[in-house]
Amino acid sequence: MKVNILAIDPCNLESAIEQDKNDPLSHFRQRFHFPKFNSDKSYIYFSGNSLGIQPDTAKQYVMEELDAWKHLAVDAHLESKRPWLPYHEFLTSYSAEIVGALDKEVVVMNSLTVNLHLLMASFYRPKGKRKKILIEKQAFPSDRYAVKSQLKFHGNDPNDDLILLKPDEEGYTSMIAIMNSMKNHGEEIALVLMGGVNYFTGQAFDMAAITDMAQNCGCRVGFDLAHAAGNLKLNLHEWGVDFAAWCGYKYLNGGPGAPSGVFIHERHLERTDLPRFEGWWGHDKSTRFQMPENFKPLQTVEAWQLSNPPILSMAALLSSLEIFHEAGMSPLREKSKKITSYLESLIKSELAEEIEIITPSSPQSRGCQLSLRLLQPINDITNILHDRGVISDWREPDVIRVAPVPLYNSFEDCYKFVQIIKGILYECR
């Protein structure tokens, strides 16, 4: 039975409970460990956009590899339950499902900013007047640092060759602004590097339209999907994106510092004119251990690998990716739209005069994150929330980020959160 949230009084606990009863994904909540509040009950955890919580099989999977190391040592590369030699391959199909890609277009390796540098080594190829990089002005700082250092590495000046997309008056970066930048600078832009979802505002970008626009201007286009992978329904292959990378520890629940994912469109995989940094794990598997003098790349995105994978970290990530496979990104995205709209409706009906939501209201223009700004600031608000049983996230200068993650959060979580922050605001008047 589908529940029309618009027909339910959002300010009623029973309505939240009823929606949870009718949620076909509600049982996945039991597959995760919530941090405990006062040792007897769980926190309302709304910080999955920063670090996802632990899947119930993560410890088991990591312990299996520790046991393999203990009992088999080097032989575990071939003889363990999940042999270490091809271990990254166990994550490939699941990752490809999440980002809408072919298996040969996806590999899990390294960390996010490392992968962005490796990808830019291949796809940022300044030549003549086409040497600029276009990013959001509000891009995550690590992206800004990465592109500035790439510009410097190629002998270019970030003050001249970095184009910053400025937000519109309402705080979002509109397609019109992106279009105008392409129109004004298209012949000078070598690379467009955008976030799939802005970390600060929670705005989701139309990646298909941006890709089409950029490529029509002769630009390469890549995406940082740190806040998009596991949050939005992605179709990177169909959209024709040149490359993308994402982290494994936010919505993908792979644990702190979890390995990153990489996508490169299949049209680039067998190109001989595309430079890249190389290492032995990108060498053809059939001759890798013959230690040949010359590098022979794999004919997949695996050719961008440098070293053998971190097995323990990948084990934890694998435990979560299996749950994503079971749940499916389409159902998760549908629940995301419902639960985020529900939280939005609660805030607007209960706290419209206290809180401004700076995330776009259209479900198509956001994931599950809502960025909140208190109209009357309260010092240490996230710490106060923490003391009342809510784990949220603060971003300078004045934004609380909350993310009702569809895989493990409930409608009841949303209701209780609003009642808690409502009580705090009342006390602080």
Amino acid at 41: K
**Is residue 309 classed exposed, middle or buried when 0-12, 13-18 and 19+ CB atoms within 10 A define those classes?**
buried
Q: Are residues 320 and 338 in the same domain?
A: no
**Beta-ladder partners of 191:** 133, 220
Residue 11 reports pLDDT greater than 80: no
Amino acid at 229: A
* C-alpha–C-alpha distance, residues 259 and 275, integer Å: 23
Per residue in 297-328, pLDDT (tens digit) is 999 999 999 999 999 999 999 999 999 999 99
- List all residues 6 or more positions away from 334 whose beta carbon is below 8 Å from its beta carbon: none
38 within a domain of the structure (yes/no): no
Q: Are residues 202 and 341 in the same domain?
A: no
44 within a domain of the structure (yes/no): no
Q: What is the largest CA-CA distance in the chain?
A: 72
168: confidence class by pLDDT, cuts 50, 70, 90: confident
Element spanning 33, H or E: strand 32-33
> To which residue do tokens 């979580």 refer?
413
| Residue 406, domain CATH | 3.90.1150.10
User: What region, left, alpha or beta, does residue 93 occupy, with left being phi > 0 and alpha being psi -120 to 50 degrees?
Assistant: alpha
Count of CB atoms situated within 10 Å of the CB of 384? 16
Rg (CA), the chain: 23
Q: Are residues 14 and 88 in the same domain?
A: no
User: For position 7, what pLDDT does the model report?
Assistant: 42
- List all residues 6 or more positions away from 214 whose beta carbon is below 8 Å from its beta carbon: 182, 189, 192, 220, 221
Per residue in 293-304, pLDDT (tens digit) is 999 999 999 999
User: For position 323, what pLDDT does the model report?
Assistant: 98
143 within a domain of the structure (yes/no): yes
The upper half-sphere exposure of residue 325, i.e. CA atoms within 13 Å in the direction of its Cβ, equals 13
> Which of 340, 307, 325, 329 is CA-nearest to residue 411?
340
For residue 159, give the 3-state DSSP assignment: helix
What number is the average pLDDT over the span 225-236? 98
* C-alpha–C-alpha distance, residues 115 and 96, integer Å: 17
What number is the average pLDDT over the span 372-398? 94
Element spanning 120, H or E: helix 112-123
Tell me the average pLDDT of the chain.
95
Beta strands 370-374; 399-402: pairing state = antiparallel
User: For position 1, what pLDDT does the model report?
Assistant: 34
What number is the average pLDDT over the span 89-116? 98
Residue 4 reports pLDDT greater than 50: no
Q: Are residues 295 and 383 in the same domain?
A: no
pTM of the model: 0.95
Amino acid at 311: I
170: confidence class by pLDDT, cuts 50, 70, 90: confident
% the chain with pLDDT above 90: 92
Q: In sequence order, what DSSP letters do the residues of 188-230 get, joined into one string?
A: GEEEEEEESB-TTT-BBP-HHHHHHHHHHTT-EEEEE-TTTTT
Final residue in a domain of this structure, among 295, 325, 355: 325
Q: Are residues 107 and 157 in the same domain?
A: yes
| Residue 189, domain CATH | 3.40.640.10
Q: Are residues 256 and 191 in the same domain?
A: yes
42 within a domain of the structure (yes/no): no
50 within a domain of the structure (yes/no): no
Q: Residue 419's domain spans which residues?
A: 5-33+333-427
Per residue in 130-145, pLDDT (tens digit) is 999 999 999 999 999 9
Q: Which residues of 13-38 are buried (b: 16+ CB within 10 A; e: fewer)?
A: eebbebbbeebebeebbebbebeebe
Residue 193 reports pLDDT greater than 50: yes
Backbone angles phi, psi at 72, to 5 degrees: -115, -25
% the chain with pLDDT above 70: 97
For residue 181, give the 3-state DSSP assignment: helix
User: For position 39, what pLDDT does the model report?
Assistant: 80
Residue pair 52/320 in contact (Cβ under 8 Å)? The answer is yes
Residue pair 229/223 in contact (Cβ under 8 Å)? The answer is no
Final residue in a domain of this structure, among 268, 297, 325: 325
Count of CB atoms situated within 10 Å of the CB of 189? 24
Q: Are residues 352 and 210 in the same domain?
A: no
Q: Are residues 117 and 168 in the same domain?
A: yes
Q: Which residues of 123-145 are buried (b: 16+ CB within 10 A; e: fewer)?
A: bbbbeeebbbbbbbebbbeebbe
* End-to-end CA, the chain: 42
53 within a domain of the structure (yes/no): no
9: confidence class by pLDDT, cuts 50, 70, 90: low
Q: Are residues 12 and 130 in the same domain?
A: no
> Which of 428, 418, 427 is CA-nearest to residue 46?
418
Residue pair 239/228 in contact (Cβ under 8 Å)? The answer is no
Per residue in 406-422, pLDDT (tens digit) is 999 999 999 999 999 99
User: For position 72, what pLDDT does the model report?
Assistant: 98
The upper half-sphere exposure of residue 267, i.e. CA atoms within 13 Å in the direction of its Cβ, equals 10
User: For position 38, what pLDDT does the model report?
Assistant: 84
Q: Are residues 343 and 318 in the same domain?
A: no
SS3 content of the chain, % helix, strand, coil (to 5): 45, 15, 40
Residue 10 reports pLDDT greater than 80: no
Q: Are residues 105 and 237 in the same domain?
A: yes
288 within a domain of the structure (yes/no): yes
Long-range Cβ pairs for the range 27-36 (8 Å, 24+): 28/323, 28/326, 28/327, 28/407, 28/408, 29/407, 29/408, 29/409, 29/410, 30/56, 31/55, 31/56, 31/57, 31/323, 31/408, 32/56, 32/253, 32/407, 32/408, 34/408, 35/391
Per residue in 16-73, pLDDT (tens digit) is 999 999 999 999 999 999 999 988 899 999 999 999 999 999 999 999 999 999 999 9
User: For position 8, what pLDDT does the model report?
Assistant: 45
Final residue in a domain of this structure, among 293, 325, 357: 325
Residue 3 reports pLDDT greater than 70: no
199 within a domain of the structure (yes/no): yes
* C-alpha–C-alpha distance, residues 340 and 359, integer Å: 11
Number of domains making up the chain: 2
Q: Are residues 94 and 183 in the same domain?
A: yes
